[in-house]
Amino acid sequence: MSSPDSLNKPLWSGRFDSAPDAAMLRFSTSLPFDCRLWRYDIEGSIAHVEMLGQCAILPREETQIIADGLRNLAAQIENGELNFDDASDEDIHSFIERHLTAQIGPVAGKLHTARSRNDQIALDVRLYLKDALRAAQSAVRALQRAFLARAEEHFGAILPGYTHLQRAQPVLLSHHLLAYFWMLQRDFERLEENFARADVLPLGAAALAGTTFPIDRQLVAQKLGFAAVSPNSLDTVADRDHLIESTATLSIIALHLSRLAEEMVLWTSPEWDFARLSDAFSTGSSIMPQKRNPDSMELVRGKAARVFGDLTTLWTLVKSLPLTYNRDLQEDKEPLFDAFDTVISSLQIARGVIETVVFNLEKMKSAAGGGFSTATDVADYLVRKGIPFRQAHEITGAAVRQCETSGRGLEALSLDEWRALDARFDEGVFDAVSVEGSVAARQSEGGTAPVRVREQLERAQALLA
Enzyme catalytic residues:
164, 285
- Please state, in angstroms and rounded to a whole number, the distance separating the CA atoms of residues 63 and 53: 6
Query: Applying CB under 6 A, does 434 fall inside the site for ligand ARG?
Result: no
Say whether 323 sits in a helix, a strand or coil.
Answer: coil
x-marked contacts with ligand ARG along 98-127 as a string, rule CB under 6 A:
-------------------xx--x------
CB of 462 to ligand ARG, least distance (A): 43
Instruction: For the chain, state the CA radius of gyration.
Output: 31
For residues 319 and 327, which CB has a smaller minimum distance to ligand ARG in the complex? 327
Query: Applying CB under 6 A, does 30 fall inside the site for ligand ARG?
Result: yes
| Sites for ligand ARG among residues 268-327 (CB under 6 A) | 327
Element at 172 (helix H, strand E): strand 166-172
Say whether 164 sits in a helix, a strand or coil.
Answer: coil
CB of 305 to ligand ARG, least distance (A): 26
Q: Which residue type does 6 have?
A: S
Q: How many residues of this chain interact with ligand ARG, rule: CB under 6 A?
A: 9
CB of 117 to ligand ARG, least distance (A): 4
Answer whether the bond into residue 101 is a cis peptide, omega within 30°: no
For residues 237 and 260, which CB has a smaller minimum distance to ligand ARG in the complex? 237
CB of 118 to ligand ARG, least distance (A): 5
x-marked contacts with ligand ARG along 53-92 as a string, rule CB under 6 A:
--------------------------------------x-
Neighbour tally for 9: CB within 10 Å: 16
CB of 122 to ligand ARG, least distance (A): 8
* Torsion, CA 146, CA 149, CA 152, CA 158, rounded to 10: -40
| Sites for ligand ARG among residues 248-267 (CB under 6 A) | none
CB of 297 to ligand ARG, least distance (A): 36
CB of 332 to ligand ARG, least distance (A): 7
Residue with the shortest CB distance to ligand ARG: 330
x-marked contacts with ligand ARG along 318-357 as a string, rule CB under 6 A:
---------x-xx---------------------------
DSSP per residue over 413-454, as a string?
--HHHHHHH-TT--THHHHHHSHHHHHHH--STT-SSHHHHH
Break the chain down into helix, strand, coil percent, rounded to 5: 65, 5, 30
- Please state, in angstroms and rounded to a whole number, the distance separating the CA atoms of residues 176 and 453: 10
- Please state, in angstroms and rounded to a whole number, the distance separating the CA atoms of residues 184 and 141: 8
Quote the Cα angle for 113-91-81, to 5°. Answer: 95
CA nearest 171: which of 393, 431, 364, 430? Answer: 364
CA nearest 441: which of 392, 381, 366? Answer: 381
For residues 230 and 456, which CB has a smaller minimum distance to ligand ARG in the complex? 230
For residues 260 and 329, which CB has a smaller minimum distance to ligand ARG in the complex? 329
For residues 167 and 242, which CB has a smaller minimum distance to ligand ARG in the complex? 242
For residues 39 and 419, which CB has a smaller minimum distance to ligand ARG in the complex? 39
- Please state, in angstroms and rounded to a whole number, the distance separating the CA atoms of residues 117 and 48: 13
For residues 50 and 89, which CB has a smaller minimum distance to ligand ARG in the complex? 89
* Interacting residue ranges for ligand ARG, rule: CB under 6 A: 30, 34, 91, 117-118, 121, 327, 329-330
